Amino acid sequence: MKNVIADSLKVTVARTLDQVVMAMTLRGVIYLGEQQAPYTEEYDGNDLVGASHLIAWKDEEPVGVLRLRWFADFAKVERAAVLERYRRDGVMRLLMQEALRYAARRGYRKVIGHAQLNRVKYWRTHGFRVREDRPHFFFSDYEYVEIERKLVPPANAITDATDPMVLIRPDGDWDRPGPFDRSLERLQNSAGKKKAEEAA
Ligand SMILES: CC(C)(COP(=O)(O)OP(=O)(O)OC[C@H]1O[C@@H](n2cnc3c(N)ncnc32)[C@H](O)[C@@H]1OP(=O)(O)O)[C@@H](O)C(=O)NCCC(=O)NCCS
């Protein structure tokens, strides 16, 4: 049977300032509004440094977000949030699948997270397990455990041997021509022009 809900969902990486603002707006509604988180705890100084924001779209509407932070040999998933009226439709499932796929393509072998105790069961359904021999900890009024998930980078994972023309494409969108691929048209056009001038 065709999954109509999943078909109308997609996930993109926030690559422009307006899309970063979009991700922050959704988090404002969910964490500041619904969960009444203090502003400085929600916007913690980690949104613009070593981080990517994924946005889930239902048709033209941004409905969910997830922040990935990139460390040397692990990535960390954070700030998973879906607008209340779009919950229980698998939005987070798709966001997490895409986050894991993106991190693996970037070459990561491990993703960690901090899970509220009552959400551990849910994160297990995303393949995470509670990290052993690590103490529970507390912040923002909740008790947390560390969770982790192993990743297997695909054969075309990004490495220092990746084709430089692929490496300079928009991050996470490495399989389609980017602006620098299109810049080659200028080279071809000017080479064609030069040839025509020489022939004239
Ligand atoms: C946690 C959160 C991100 C989940 O987003 P979501 O898009 O609703 O996630 P999913 O649809 O993948 O699954 C959520 C639940 O719906 C269930 N579900 C999913 N599709 C379903 C369906 N078609 N029918 C019935 N249940 C369904 C899942 O099993 C899961 O169950 P649970 O809540 O009992 O564990 C969302 O509830 C949220 O934004 N909460 C507020 C912010 C927050 O707490 N973030 C997490 C911080 S650790």
CATH value at residue 33: 3.40.630.30
Same domain? For 16 and 72 the reply is yes
Domain containing residue 188: 160-200
Could you tell me the distance, in angstroms and rounded to a whole number, from the CA of residue 73 to the centre of ligand 1?
Answer: 28
**In whole angstroms, what is the distance from residue 160 CA to residue 77 CA?**
24
Does residue 114 line the site of ligand 1, with CB under 6 A?
Answer: no
Reported as a single tens digit per residue, the pLDDT across 33-86 is 999 999 999 999 999 999 999 999 999 999 999 999 999 999 999 999 999 999
Sites in the chain below the pLDDT cut of 50: 1-2
Query: How many domains is the chain partitioned into structurally?
Result: 2
Same domain, 140 and 166: no
Is-contact 180 169, C-beta < 8 A? Answer: yes
**CA–centroid distance, residue 93 to ligand 1 (Å):** 8
Q: Are 175 and 192 members of one domain?
A: yes
Atom of ligand 1 nearest to the CA of 87: 8
- The pTM for the full model equals 0.91
Of 145, 88, 147, 116, nearest in space to 31 by CA = 116
110 and 177 part of one domain: no
